[in-house]
């Protein structure tokens, strides 16, 4: 045998010996290590952590709470395109290999050798499952060996579909999303079954490096990874040429706010979370509880839009304040996307009010960088609101110049400069029959302020409190036809609790003697004060507690007549419901049911219903008369805009404006729904001349009611027994037919009116019909009536 042949033989023997030795070593390791591997029972009995989820009454997800955002999905419910994208990106031979892909290992080894360093890994889906459940992420040979052994064990105990199902639900994909179903919702706001080829490829690219390929944080790198996955899907014949060409061009609508579920109900979701956590404190965020609220998705959206529009309209009336902030743009050009994106990270979107950085500013054109890479050119009408801050004479620290951070909003197809408002607002609506909340907006932007103005904001109610004083007056013997002078009055310090007081009507005008009905419609302060003085402040303080108000929040002074106490919108909702439902005290509620992960009911509310006499707060006749008087507020008083816009005759309510225009309210109802709108600053300050309840708050209420009352027939409360019709002459000379308590007579029209003493302790007449009845008027019988011009409150 020649020397070269001997060398070849010796080399082959050495290689063969090394292979045999390695195989023997691997066998020994397998024999020794395999029995020591952890049990895979955690996989065979897979129990993932499922977050607490909150839903609207009509089944729409509105909130999710948990360290791990996960939505468990069975393999049979995963669309084929999603599975194909995952296999193309992570493990194309998943259904062929036994847990370790030998071909993949060799390919990765060759690539790493040729590339001069580590370029590719060779982890299969099964190995990733092993690592996620049993091992650390450290990169050592020992950990890799255990990972491979575990992969063999998992494949021996579970079927391929079981392994893939676990992977689909367990893998971390960024933005606190665990599993592809949760990721589809968090990134795209849709169910996994609805994802497109382009979206599936984007999601499938995330497991490799969720932070690096996150479409929210790194949109460009995410797109590069998406295109790689699409090419791999095409190579494996999962998609055709047309799909490969179309998918990269598809515009993906990426959610930037992980708490955006398509229904703007963050305040509702937070209230539901608190209720669930208090009721079921153990593992509340991981056991898959489902909280069903009372809100309606459509009405919640209508309330959200009404509040946003009302606040933005107010803000626009008071002018542009200038740049939100400034950033340093030295040596930064529009092409430096990454630097500009970094500069915008401190400024969150507020729905469609998007932050942008000014690159160039002149009185006729503003160029600004928008998150995501678009450079806007804004001119013409888009600059009108901000025009005064583009002038060289503008305040230097507010003027729009290069580096200014501004807010922009898209209107139709053009952009305009806007600003984040400083004023706050709230709205809440409910059924007056059982108290179920139909919509609740606790503030302009939950991400900016978690403070829930509906339940937490104690504000002065102003004139919106007058109906409760008038109701106390009716109980003391007054009637809507009682006449009281609208004339100046001087109040001593003893009667106010602080200092002498000479109150005025909001418009400074006095109309002389008038009926209570007219006084409430016109919101006359002098009449309210005289009425409260006549019935007694302590009596009124005690009386308003029937509606759910706190006595200690309403001191017994004459300022009570003008709403100088403190209320929350939630209290106003319950209180006005008493007038809307015929006199019954109901408790508003927002959670209907709490279910476990299997759908079994763990807790449910059984609300008391109006009509139960144990809930009666005020006499049915009192409620009916007050309802009638508040209809006049809408027909001919301070809220005529509601009738003009909604074109209905069954609306009732009361505007409210506090002293010096600090708080503005409209509290109103139709027999099927009560709504409360409030607007004001968190740190109370003047909103500006003319910012009354009718100007600032009523438009929010109208915006909601346009949706809530669409298709709802007009209806009124049926008059209860115990009322009698009289001829009542208004001091203006107009004679009307007026219903009053049958056993009461109207007090005389004097400056200091005292109610009939003989009737103060008289018990109300028996009520024949406990449950309020609604009378519907057919649409054909409705008649258009002229609506007087709106008056201020």
From residue 441, alpha-carbon distances to 31, 108, 377, 708 in Å are: 64, 55, 34, 15
The DSSP bridge pattern shows strands 735-741 and 414-418 to be unpaired
> Token pair of 368, please?
């600004």
> Token pair of 683, please?
């740190």
From residue 665, alpha-carbon distances to 303, 473, 690, 691, 692 in Å are: 15, 23, 13, 10, 8
Catalytic residue among 181, 286, 431, 463: 463
Phi and psi angles of residue 267, each rounded to the nearest 5 degrees, phi first? -65, -35
- DSSP code per residue over 278-324: HH--TTTTTB--EEEES--HHHHHHHHHHHHHHHHHHHHHT-----S
Say whether 502 sits in a helix, a strand or coil.
Answer: coil
**Does the active-site annotation cover 90?**
yes
Say whether 114 sits in a helix, a strand or coil.
Answer: helix
**Does the active-site annotation cover 759?**
no
Contact yes or no for 524/562 (Cβ under 8 A) = no
From residue 588, alpha-carbon distances to 466, 583, 663 in Å are: 22, 15, 23
Catalytic residue among 57, 64, 90, 147: 90
Q: What is the DSSP letter of 99?
A: S
Q: From CA 560, how far away is CA 549, in angstroms rounded?
A: 12
Chain centroid to CA 200: how far? Answer: 28
Angle between helices 197-204 and 219-235 (to 10 degrees): 110
Q: From CA 652, how far away is CA 303, in angstroms rounded?
A: 19
Q: From CA 145, how far away is CA 158, in angstroms rounded?
A: 20
Give the per-residue SS3 of 696-725.
HHHHHHHHHHHHHCCCCCCEEECCCCCEEE
What are the catalytic residues? 90, 463
């Amino acid at each position: 045998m020649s020397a070269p042949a001997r060398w070849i033989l010796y080399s082959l023997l050495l290689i063969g010996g090394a292979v045999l030795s390695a195989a023997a070593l691997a066998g020994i390791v397998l024999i020794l290590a395999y029995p020591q591997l952890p049990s895979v029972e955690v996989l065979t009995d897979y129990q993932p952590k499922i977050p607490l989820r909150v839903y609207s009454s009509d089944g729409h997800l509105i909130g999710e709470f948990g360290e791990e955002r996960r939505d468990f999905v069975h393999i049979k419910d995963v669309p084929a395109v999603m599975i194909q994208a995952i296999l193309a990106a992570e493990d194309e031979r998943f259904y062929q290999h036994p847990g370790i892909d030998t071909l993949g290992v060799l390919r990765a080894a060759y690539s790493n050798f040729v590339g001069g360093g580590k370029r590719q890994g060779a982890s299969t889906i099964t190995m990733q499952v092993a690592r996620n459940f049993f091992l650390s992420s450290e990169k050592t040979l020992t950990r890799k060996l255990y990972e491979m052994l575990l992969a063999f064990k998992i494949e021996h105990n579970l079927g391929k579909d079981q392994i893939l199902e676990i992977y689909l639900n367990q893998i971390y994909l960024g933005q606190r999303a665990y599993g592809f179903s949760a990721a589809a919702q968090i990134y795209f706001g849709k169910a996994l079954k609805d994802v497109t080829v382009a979206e599936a490829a984007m999601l499938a690219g995330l497991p490799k490096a969720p932070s690096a390929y996150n479409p929210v944080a790194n949109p460009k790198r995410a797109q590069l990874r998406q295109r790689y996955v699409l090419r791999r899907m095409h190579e494996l014949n999962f998609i055709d040429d047309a799909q490969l060409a179309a998918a990269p061009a598809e515009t993906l609508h990426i959610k930037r706010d992980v708490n955006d579920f398509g229904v703007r109900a963050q305040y509702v979701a937070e209230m539901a979370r608190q209720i669930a956590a208090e009721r079921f404190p153990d593992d509340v965020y991981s056991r898959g509880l489902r909280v069903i609220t009372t809100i309606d998705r459509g009405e919640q959206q209508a309330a959200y839009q009404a509040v946003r529009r009302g606040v933005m309209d107010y803000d626009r009336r008071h002018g542009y304040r200038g740049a939100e902030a400034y950033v340093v743009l030295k040596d930064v050009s529009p092409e430096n996307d990454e630097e500009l994106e970094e500069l915008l990270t401190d400024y969150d979107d507020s729905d469609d009010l998007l932050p942008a950085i000014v690159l160039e500013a002149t009185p006729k054109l503003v160029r600004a960088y928008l998150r995501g890479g678009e450079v806007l050119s804004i001119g013409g009408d888009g600059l009108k609101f901000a025009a005064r801050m583009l002038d060289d004479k503008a305040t230097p620290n507010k003027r729009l110049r290069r580096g200014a951070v501004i807010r922009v909003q898209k209107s139709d197809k053009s952009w305009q400069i806007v600003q984040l408002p400083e004023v706050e607002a709230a709205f809440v609506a409910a059924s007056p029959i059982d108290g179920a909340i139909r919509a609740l907006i606790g503030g302009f932007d939950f991400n900016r302020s978690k403070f829930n103005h509906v339940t937490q904001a104690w504000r002065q109610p102003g004139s919106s409190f007058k109906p409760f004083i008038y109701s106390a007056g009716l109980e003391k013997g007054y009637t809507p036809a009682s006449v009281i002078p609208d004339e100046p009055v001087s109040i001593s310090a003893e009667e106010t609790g602080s200092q002498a007081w000479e109150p005025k009507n909001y418009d400074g005008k006095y109309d002389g003697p008038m009926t209570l009905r007219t006084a409430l419609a016109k919101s006359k302060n002098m009449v309210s004060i005289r009425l409260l003085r006549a019935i007694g402040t302590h009596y009124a303080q005690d009386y308003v507690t029937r509606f759910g108000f706190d006595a200690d929040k309403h001191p017994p002074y004459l300022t009570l007549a003008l709403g100088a106490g403190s209320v929350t919108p939630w209290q106003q909702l319950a209180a006005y419901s008493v007038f809307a439902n015929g006199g019954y005290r109901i408790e508003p509620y927002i959670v209907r049911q709490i279910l476990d992960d299997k759908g079994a009911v763990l807790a449910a509310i059984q609300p008391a219903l109006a009509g139960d006499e144990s809930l009666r707060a005020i006499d049915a006749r009192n409620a009916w008369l007050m309802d009638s008087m508040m209809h006049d507020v809408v027909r001919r008083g301070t809220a005529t805009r509601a009738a003009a816009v909604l074109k209905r005759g069954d609306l009732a309510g009361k505007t409210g404006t506090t002293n010096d225009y600090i708080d503005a309210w409209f509290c109103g109802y139709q027999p099927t729904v009560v709504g409360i709108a409030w607007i004001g600053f968190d740190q109370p300050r003047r909103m500006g001349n003319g910012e009354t309840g009718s100007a600032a708050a009523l438009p929010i209420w109208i915006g909601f009611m346009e949706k809530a009352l669409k298709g709802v027939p007009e209806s009124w409360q049926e008059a209860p027994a115990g009322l009698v019709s009289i001829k009542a002459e208004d001091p203006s000379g107009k004679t009307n037919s007026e219903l009053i308590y049958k056993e009461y007579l109207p007090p005389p029209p004097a400056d200091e009116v005292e109610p009939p003493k003989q009737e103060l302790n008289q018990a109300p007449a028996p009520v024949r019909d406990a449950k309020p009845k609604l009378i519907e008027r057919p649409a054909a019988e409705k008649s258009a009536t002229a609506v007087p011009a709106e008056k201020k409150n």
